Amino acid sequence: MKESKNFLIILAVFLICYWLPVENIRFNNALFESLALVKWYAREHVLLCLVPAFFIAGAISVFVSQASVIKYFGAKANKVLAYGVASVSGAILAVCSCTVLPLFSGIYKRGAGLGPATAFLYSGPAINVLAIIMTARILGWELGLARAIGAILFSLIVGILMHLIFLKEERNRHANGSFESGVEEIPRPLWKNALYFASMVGVLVFANWGKPQEHDTGIWPLVFRYKWHITVIFLAALTLMIVRWFKKKEIREWTAASWTFAKQIMPLLFAGVLVAGLLLGRPGQEGLIPSQFVRNLVGGNSLFANFFASVAGAFMYFATLTEVPVLQGLIGSGIGKGPALALLLAGPALSLPSMLVIRSVIGTKKTAVYVSLVVVMATLSGIIFGRITA
């Protein structure tokens, strides 16, 4: 059996190499787009997004007691509090679908229930206040309002449904106590740990503060102008806390836990980004799947158009705020209002790279259900919105 499997793998690789369409211009362009997307991802997201996220996830696994996670996010936690905190936490972080993954993995492995954990997983990239404001300004207040309402409801509904669907498995998981061990007794008062985590979140949020529109006024452009000054202040505060409050053993455990998350997540993310770039290209560029083909399929407000927009959005990779200009171009090419909302609700919260990582954390079955729930609800929301605005 094993030899037959090895033979089939070798045969498949041989046939791919034999029929590799290197003479085809579209294939060469798609290959270039795949590598260009990986280069852009490495430059724009690894150092400023993923590295801080890995350190936060490592800190959660080491310095947040399992008892505290179970108290607020576990199976016996107050449901209103658990889902409320999960949604609010995601909205505050306002990260992309890949950056939220180490944080999701951290709280889930420390004992958080599947429902609150997946609510947090969706809310992080979806309930982005600045992105919703940009959507309303650029694409119209109706789409901005629908996105805000849909994202908030989605985070709660997805979490509750995941909890109910896998209720038996979750009960067994918590009954068996199958969680990763960590440092339970912390030799610091709670306020010191709170400041420590707040400084890391501050670095993550302000280092990735999005560029405002040209004519924007108010707090967002002001913060963007001084984003690096604010980031340096948080980073200096974090460094001072580490030097003054932490022992060498704790720092070693923290860095080791962060490295564990990086080893688990980074290879899957880069593999997913390569495939996504090959198939769909970068925003505004062509991959193997022609963009005109996509635009032709998402016109109007049919069930298929909304479903296809949801699926396409789920597999594409959107960095924070990039979905708005991409959708602006699609609307100019004829995408319907319903499919536009469906793409907005499914796209920022999911991507092919994030699916690969989620699978490694919660398994294939739960990942398939989570992705299906997001796609189905995005499709239904698109249909309803399209009929209301028709």
Give CA separation, 69 vs 76, 112, 113, 202, in Å: 11, 6, 9, 21
Element of type H or E holding 75: none
Q: Is the pLDDT of residue 284 over 70?
A: no
Confidence band of 368 (pLDDT split at 50, 70, 90): very high
CA pair distance 263, 377, nearest whole angstrom: 33
Q: Is the pLDDT of residue 389 over 50?
A: yes
At 198-235, the pLDDT tens digits run 888 888 878 877 777 667 677 878 888 888 999 999 99
Residue 182: the pLDDT is 45
Q: How far apart are the first and last CA of the chain?
A: 57
Mean pLDDT throughout 231-252? Answer: 89
Residue 165 CB neighbour total at 10 angstroms: 17
Residue 9 CB neighbour total at 10 angstroms: 10
Give CA separation, 246 vs 69, 177, 187, 192, 251, in Å: 21, 29, 9, 10, 7
Residue 76: the pLDDT is 66
Q: Is the pLDDT of residue 328 over 70?
A: no
Of 75-84, 245-254, 297-306, the range with the lowest mean pLDDT is 75-84
Determine, yes or no, domain membership for 229.
no
Determine, yes or no, domain membership for 281.
yes
Q: Is the pLDDT of residue 74 over 70?
A: no
Residue 370: the pLDDT is 92
The token pair that represents 50 in the structure block? 């993923």
Determine, yes or no, domain membership for 354.
yes
Determine, yes or no, domain membership for 239.
no
Q: Is the pLDDT of residue 347 over 50?
A: yes
Determine, yes or no, domain membership for 234.
no
- Asked if residues 105 and 57 have their Cβ atoms less than 8 Å apart, the reply is yes
pTM (2 d.p.): 0.66
Mean pLDDT throughout 242-270? Answer: 82
Determine, yes or no, domain membership for 108.
yes
The token pair that represents 330 in the structure block? 């699609």
Across all residues in the chain, what is the average pLDDT? Answer: 78
- Asked if residues 170 and 113 have their Cβ atoms less than 8 Å apart, the reply is yes
Q: What percent of the chain is modeled with pLDDT above 90?
A: 7
Q: What percent of the chain is modeled with pLDDT above 70?
A: 79
CA pair distance 225, 229, nearest whole angstrom: 9
Of 73-87, 155-169, 320-334, 372-386, the range with the lowest mean pLDDT is 320-334
In single-letter form, the type of residue at position 91 comes to A
Residue 181: the pLDDT is 44
Determine, yes or no, domain membership for 286.
yes
The token pair that represents 177 in the structure block? 């106590």
Mean pLDDT throughout 369-375? Answer: 92
Residue 6: the pLDDT is 79
At 175-194, the pLDDT tens digits run 665 544 444 455 677 788 78
CA pair distance 49, 34, nearest whole angstrom: 20
The range of the structural domain enclosing residue 144 comes to: 25-187+247-388
Of 162-171, 272-281, 350-359, the range with the lowest mean pLDDT is 272-281
Mean pLDDT throughout 243-250? Answer: 86
CA pair distance 263, 266, nearest whole angstrom: 6
In the chain, the number of structural domains is 1
User: Which residue's entry shows tokens 């400023």?
Assistant: 48
Determine, yes or no, domain membership for 240.
no
Report phi then psi at 211, rounded to 5.
Answer: -70, 130
